[in-house]
Amino acid sequence: MKLQKKQAMVGWGFVSSGALLIFIFYFYPIIRAFVLSFQTGVGVNMQYAGLFNYRRLLTDNLFKTSLTNVFIYLVLQVPVMLTLALILANLLNDRTLKYRGFFRTVIFLPCATSLVSYAIIFRSMFALDGLVNALLMNLNLLAQPINWIGHPWTARLLIVFALTWRWTGYNMIFYLSGLQNIDHSIYEAAMIDGAGGIDRFTKITIPLLKPIILLTTIISTNGTIQLFDETMNITNGGPANSTLSVSQYIYKLSFHYSPRFGYAAAISFIIFIIVAFLAFIQMKVGDQR
């Protein structure tokens, strides 16, 4: 046996166990869920139903509500979060800034907190008798406390605020790594030519970070459409399902209501198609290659 073939066999020996585990715990459940999406029934009593579950989606108002909610989060939260992350990364990339390591750590720390823990803390802070209402009333900015979780739009804005707080630092790290790969002499040449801070940011930083911006946009879009922890732990989908996310609806179909695993699987694949379609559009718009 030739040496090259022996090396190839050794390499396949190393990756085969990992590939097998990935197939068993990742690809097989996807295939099984796809088959399940064409079945109907309660619990384990399943039978083939063709496209029944997919046709049911067209008349399911709760699914439409949950899908509308995640797109509201997507439109309100993702642009604000990515813009804020880009501005913070640009500021913290300044070589003359003191304690920039400390500021980077502080901004990134929310990303290291537990999803469930921070969601419960936000729910407590924005309760009717919580810290936020008490602070605003002590500052005479409110005459009476706001029921943040009890009104549809304030509850949605609360989730948007929580998501922005949690994930801004995460995206900032991507932008910081991209900024550190940009030669500082480019900025020095621009300053010599009279370019101000805004011109350097819009005409040098953003164009050179375009691949990273595209990556973070796709990741953030994917994560927002599959949102679960915040809506589950902060508002529990309320009030009146006005903050219900698609992932939470899938969870309720599977474990909260009478188990409808086939219908839940069908919704999962529709979300997969939506995510893939949005990622395709973003690649076409953002990647000039």
154 and 77 part of one domain:
yes
Residue 49 lies in a domain: no
Residue 210 lies in a domain: yes
Pair 65, 249: CB distance under 8 Å: no
The parent domain of residue 20 ranges over 3-36
pLDDT for res 288: 60
Domain with 262 in it: what CATH number?
1.10.3720.10
Closest among 40, 87, 112 to 213, alpha carbons compared: 87
pLDDT for res 81: 95
pLDDT for res 6: 84
Pair 161, 235: CB distance under 8 Å: no
70 and 17 part of one domain:
no
Residue 52 lies in a domain: no
Cα–Cα distances in Å, from 180 out to 87, 96, 218?
Answer: 15, 14, 22
Beta-sheet strands, E only, within the chain: 39-42, 45-48
65 and 13 part of one domain:
no
112 and 214 part of one domain:
yes
Closest among 220, 184, 208 to 84, alpha carbons compared: 220
Residue 47 lies in a domain: no
122 and 260 part of one domain:
yes
Residue 41 lies in a domain: no
141 and 210 part of one domain:
yes
What percent of the chain is helix, strand and coil (3-state, nearest 5)? Answer: 75, 5, 25
pLDDT for res 258: 77
Residue 54 lies in a domain: no
139 and 241 part of one domain:
yes
Residue 43 lies in a domain: no
Distance CA 211, CA 234 (A): 34
237 and 188 part of one domain:
yes
pLDDT for res 41: 81
Counted domains in the chain: 2
pLDDT in tens, the chain (289 residues): 788 888 888 888 899 989 999 999 999 999 998 999 998 887 667 888 888 999 999 899 999 999 999 999 999 999 999 999 999 998 888 878 888 889 999 999 998 888 888 999 999 999 988 899 999 999 888 888 899 998 999 999 999 999 999 999 999 999 999 988 888 888 888 888 888 878 888 888 888 888 899 989 999 999 999 999 999 999 999 888 999 999 999 999 988 887 888 999 999 999 999 998 988 888 887 766 5
80 and 183 part of one domain:
yes
Omega cis (within 30) before 239: yes
70 and 199 part of one domain:
yes
12 and 113 part of one domain:
no
Residue 50 lies in a domain: no
209 and 154 part of one domain:
yes
